[in-house]
Amino acid sequence: MQLLQRVYAQVDTSVSDPLGGRIGSLAELLAFILNLVLGVGFALVLIMLALGFIQYIMSQGDKAGVEKAQKWVTYAVVGGVGLFLVFVLRAVITQFTGGNNVNVGTNVTI
């Protein structure tokens, strides 16, 4: 009779991808981050425009309120133009470097 017996632990050695295979390279990661920043930026521009127009309507001709609303709209437009230039610059750089315009996350299902 044998009192001690050899026991081998069975361990799963496979590593799963925490990103689900959506991002496979550094270029795709940077493209994902840039797309995220552009999306959030454009959303903020729309919100600022809406708030500026609401302030303009609510000012009812008050000079200080109208000036404040104009500043909001002006800043939103400048931000929108800046974001659009970043979007165009990304497309131009991608075209000149011969890369593909990676739109990571467009086919993501939740």
In a structure prediction context, what are the per-residue pLDDT tens digits for the chain, which is 110 residues long? 677 777 777 777 777 777 677 777 777 788 888 888 999 999 999 999 999 999 999 988 889 999 999 999 999 999 999 999 998 988 888 788 776 655 544 544 44
The reported pLDDT for the residue numbered 108 is 45
For residues 25 and 74, give the distance between their C-alpha atoms in angstroms, rounded to a whole number. 38
